[in-house]
């Protein structure tokens, strides 16, 4: 398997990505303030994230929420998870314990189509904008159904504990996928899409599917995979490039809420990978990854990218690699 080495940096359209028109005195003033604050704010945010991530394992052990402290003793209630099944006509919610059988029996389910599963991040759920935007984009682009794991009962509070729960949740999702594969679903048709913590849940789902069936999902898209508590760990404890046949990643808040280093076969760093245009808060930049992803499904030429050593090299047109491609999903 050939791995993409280096970074791919995108030319992005702010107006399309944000879906808002910029203009007027207040907007210009706000942009001016952002330009003044960013050079100071970004290093501070990155330093806080680095320190917090480096000491994460120790703190989790002190709090009794490390994986080895919970496994087989105080595991989370995985039956509290559910899968949303959205089609062009309606939506249904299935408890994860019956999801594999119920979904494959659903009238709209087509085993010949891609099996698309979105996994949200911390303090999110499938009723929020992330899944709404992504599912609508998929359905408008020709897909007939989209799934979403609802992990909000387990990862809506207490981030440190949530970073441990992702292993249990990913394992459970992987078991559901394995059951569907044994029922006739082609693993190559499975496309896992995770945002933030959801990227790592998707990674563990891919690991579990491989363990149970000997096959990997066809694709895994990591949307700004969570950095805190995952930056300084062994690759087996986070999403990585062997969790699917093809792993691609959009880094929109790298070094703060998102991971800074490449983790897939193709890693995209729009606008340098952090401090996205129109965003003052890092949470805004963190969310841009799923906005960019949703738009790329509908506007196939919106995000032209080029392989380059760094964002600075890119801005100076000093990229050695002349290969250009669209950040299209």
Lowest mean pLDDT of 106-115, 262-271, 298-307, name the range: 298-307
- What pLDDT shows up at residue 55? 82
DSSP letter string, 167-184:
HHHHHHHHHHHHHHHHTT
Radius of gyration of the chain (CA): 19
Rounded mean pLDDT of 58-85?
A: 96
Tens digit of pLDDT for each residue in 179-216?
999 999 999 999 999 999 999 999 999 999 999 999 99
Instruction: Please say whether the beta carbons of 125 and 283 come within 8 A.
Output: no
Q: How confident is the model at residue 112 (pLDDT cuts 50, 70, 90)?
A: confident
Can you give the pTM of this predicted structure? 0.84
More reliable by pLDDT, 53 or 168: 168
Ordered alpha helix ranges (H), the chain: 14-18, 24-54, 56-63, 67-70, 99-105, 129-140, 152-155, 159-182, 197-213, 282-298, 311-315
Please confirm, yes or no, whether 286 is among the known catalytic residues: yes
Please confirm, yes or no, whether 141 is among the known catalytic residues: no
Mean pLDDT of the chain: 85
pLDDT at 255 > cutoff 60: yes
Catalytic residue among 124, 125, 150, 224: 224
Give me the domains of the chain, ranges plus CATH numbers. Answer: 78-324 (3.40.50.1820)
Please confirm, yes or no, whether 224 is among the known catalytic residues: yes
Rounded mean pLDDT of 116-132?
A: 98
Catalytic residue among 53, 82, 196, 202: 196
pLDDT at 46 > cutoff 90: no
Instruction: Please say whether the beta carbons of 56 and 229 come within 8 A.
Output: yes
Q: What count of other Cβ atoms lies within 10 Å of the Cβ of residue 306? A: 17
Residues 6+ apart with CB under 8 A from 256: 42, 45, 46, 49, 227, 274, 282, 285, 286
Tens digit of pLDDT for each residue in 220-250?
999 999 999 999 899 999 999 999 999 999 9
Distances in Å between the Cα of 17 and the Cα atoms of 141, 287, 290 are 17, 11, 10
């Amino acid at each position: 398997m050939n791995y993409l080495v280096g970074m791919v940096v995108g030319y992005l359209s702010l107006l399309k990505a944000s879906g808002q028109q910029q203009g007027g005195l207040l907007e210009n003033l706000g942009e001016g303030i952002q330009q003044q604050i960013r050079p100071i704010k970004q290093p501070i945010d990155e330093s806080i994230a680095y320190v917090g991530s480096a000491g994460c394992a120790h703190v989790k052990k002190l709090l009794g929420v490390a994986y080895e402290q919970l496994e087989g003793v105080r595991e989370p209630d995985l039956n509290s998870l559910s899968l949303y099944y959205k089609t062009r006509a309606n939506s249904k919610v299935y408890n994860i314990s019956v999801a594999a059988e119920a979904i494959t029996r659903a009238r709209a389910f087509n085993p010949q189509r891609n099996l698309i599963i979105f996994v949200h991040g911390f303090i999110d759920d499938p009723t929020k904008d992330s899944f709404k935007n992504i599912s609508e984009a998929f359905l408008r682009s020709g897909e007939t159904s989209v799934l979403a794991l609802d992990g909000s009962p387990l990862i809506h509070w207490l981030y440190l504990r949530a970073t441990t729960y992702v292993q249990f949740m990913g394992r459970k999702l992987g078991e559901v996928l394995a059951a569907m594969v044994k029922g006739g679903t082609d693993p190559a048709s499975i496309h896992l899409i995770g945002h933030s913590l959801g990227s790592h849940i998707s990674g563990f789902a891919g690991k579990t599917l491989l363990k149970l069936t000997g096959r990997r999902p066809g694709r895994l898209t990591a949307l700004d995979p969570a950095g805190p508590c995952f930056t300084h760990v062994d690759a087996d404890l986070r999403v990585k490039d062997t969790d699917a046949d093809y792993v691609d990643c959009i880094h929109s808040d790298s070094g703060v809420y998102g991971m800074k280093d490449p983790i897939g076969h193709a890693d995209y760093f729009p606008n340098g990978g952090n401090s996205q245009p129109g965003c003052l808060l890092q949470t805004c930049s963190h969310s841009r990854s799923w906005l960019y992803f949703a738009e790329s499904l509908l506007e196939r030429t919106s995000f032209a990218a080029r392989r380059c050593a760094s964002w600075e090299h890119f801005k100076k047109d000093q990229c050695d690699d002349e290969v250009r491609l669209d950040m299209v999903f």
